Amino acid sequence: MYTLLDPTRAQDFAIKDEELFNLVQTFEKSLLEDKKSLFESAQNKNQDDLHRNLHTLKGYLPFLCRADFCERITELYQMVRGNQLDLVLSGVMAIMPSLNVLQIEIGDWLTSYDSKKG
């Protein structure tokens, strides 16, 4: 159903439905802010901010995203640590549409969860 979101990956951390819902809500808020910061860092070609933003994303995306997408974030993180700024900049711009899709999928999941409760 989803191309990037995989809520089953959170089962070790959010055993109850309500815990999963809360985790996804937190994830949604964080992603919204972090997407914006990542994009701005790329536009400004700020390696330190890119490093910080990619580190943040690689820290929480594995809880709710497909493994291959998480691996891509980790690759970009390793590149920015290796001073491969040009590759990182193009990589970040390439994943921005996927981050937007992920944001939409999260919203859809939350809406679906709410409709099941009500």
Statement: residue 118 has pLDDT above 70? no
Fold assignment, 16-108: Four Helix Bundle (Hemerythrin (Met), subunit A) (1.20.120)
> Strand pairing partners for 32?
none
Average pLDDT, the chain: 94
Give the model confidence (pLDDT) of 36-67 as tens digits.
Answer: 999 999 999 999 999 999 999 999 999 999 99
The pLDDT of residue 78: 96
Domain coordinates in residue numbering, the chain: 16-108
What span, in angstroms and rounded, lies between the C-alpha atoms of 28 and 22? 10
Report the run of H or E that residue 114 belongs to, with start and end.
helix 85-117
Give the pLDDT band (50/70/90) at residue 33.
very high
Predicted TM-score of the model (pTM): 0.91
Instruction: Look at residue 65 and give its three-state secondary structure.
Output: strand
**What 3-state DSSP class applies to 5?**
strand
Could you tell me the pLDDT band of residue 15, with boundaries at 50, 70 and 90? confident
